[in-house]
């Protein structure tokens, strides 16, 4: 699965998810809730780019 990177440098890895913020491991980017934000800087999904 592809990884996605925030301008702040945080990388969303679908294999790991973001368990602390309600996104389970193996959650594809398309399935991450639209209201999810970067756990480091708070930017929205729309600011991430495919790595």
Predicted pLDDT at 1: 86
The conformation of residue 23, written as its DSSP 8-state character, comes to B
Give pTM, 2 decimals.
0.94
What sections of 1-51 are H helices per DSSP? none
Per the CB < 8 A criterion, the answer to whether 8 and 42 are in contact is no
Looking at 1-51, which runs of residues are DSSP E strands?
A: 4-5, 11-12, 49-50
Note the pLDDT tens digit of each residue in 20-36: 999 999 999 999 999 99
Q: Rounded to an integer, what distance in angstroms lies between the CA atom of residue 20 and that of residue 32?
A: 13
């Amino acid at each position: 699965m592809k990884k996605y990177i925030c301008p702040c440098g945080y990388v969303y890895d679908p294999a790991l998810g973001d368990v602390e913020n309600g996104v389970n491991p193996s959650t594809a980017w398309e399935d991450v809730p639209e209201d999810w934000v970067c756990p480091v800087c708070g930017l929205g999904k729309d600011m991430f780019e495919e790595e």
